[in-house]
Amino acid sequence: MKRIIGITMLLSIALLAGCGEADQPEIEEVAGSEDAADVEVAEEAPVEIEVAVLYPEGTLDPSLVTADVPVSCRALFNAFYAWDGQTVVIQGYPFVHYGDSITIEDDIELVAVAGERDKLLKVTFPDSLNLRIAADELLTVSGTVDYSWTGRIELVEGTVVTDAVLIDISEVSPYTYDGTSAVEVQAFFDLFNAWIGMEVTVEGYYFGSTTSSGADYHIVRIDLQDPETRDKCAACEMTGEIPEDVSNAMLENRDGVQIRGTIAGESFSIVGLEGCELVNR
């Protein structure tokens, strides 16, 4: 009897072993379980940072203009008067003639530092403000640039602004400024007058020349026009008479006259250059 039981147990063990092999579930491969050495790391695409173009194609960047490369009188005119008619927001200190405060009525002049005497900008208001302000209190104003024959920066239709965000001057040009961000008055003054004192060679259609003489001066002025519209764009002043052969050459071939000089400012509503000399006539 014991022998029969023993044989039965051996058979049961053998059957169980066989069934265990057959019924054992397959182990599925889990995604991502590979060795680190076999995993390929995807390279990230470089992030392109868009850089604002301060001077779009067809405009003049004053930092790139040199006297060695002629610029058209029309392009120079457009660049010189680029701010004219634009609304700007300027921050500075009120100019106070005396005392430690001022009452703003119809206009106010701004300086870069409280107490300074160098007035950089004037803004006029359509209505009297009757606003008292301390000499060391920052003032932010908005207005429309009205290019004055005096060369001063003047804003008309002014308002006092309280919530404008001050931005860095490196982010500003006449072609990208948003009209709502505030710019420090000294920074705007420098940008507004970027062309003053620059030596350039301007090219245009010869309109004609005039002579002004006095006891201690003799100035010959040559006006250049846009060759397409015939609008006068630049006035070039030089000392001394123009030689007759040079004058005849300009009369015979008026187009493409090039004159080198230093930008001095506004001259009867066009760009005025002084210390000029003819380049190609």
Mean pLDDT of 43-70: 83
pLDDT band at 46 (very low <50, low <70, confident <90, very high): low
DSSP secondary structure, 182-204, as one string:
EEEHHHHHHHHTTTTT-EEEEEE
What is the rounded average pLDDT for all residues in the chain? 86
Q: Is the model's pLDDT at 41 over the cut of 80?
A: no
Residue type, position 236, single letter? C
pLDDT band at 16 (very low <50, low <70, confident <90, very high): very low
Which pLDDT tens digit goes with each residue over 78-113? 999 999 999 999 999 999 999 999 999 999 999 999
In 3D space, the residue among 58, 102, 51 whose CA is nearest the CA of residue 78 turns out to be 58
Three-class secondary structure assignment of 94-139: ECCCCCCEEEECCEEEEECCCCCCCCCEEEECCCCCCEEEECCCCE
Query: Model-level pTM?
Result: 0.79
Share of the chain above pLDDT 70, in %: 81
pLDDT at 215: 83
Helix (H) or strand (E) holding 23: helix 2-23
Phi and psi at residue 252, to the nearest 5°? -75, -30
Phi and psi at residue 125, to the nearest 5°? -110, 145
Q: Are 256 and 234 in contact (CB under 8 A)?
A: no
Q: Are 124 and 107 in contact (CB under 8 A)?
A: yes
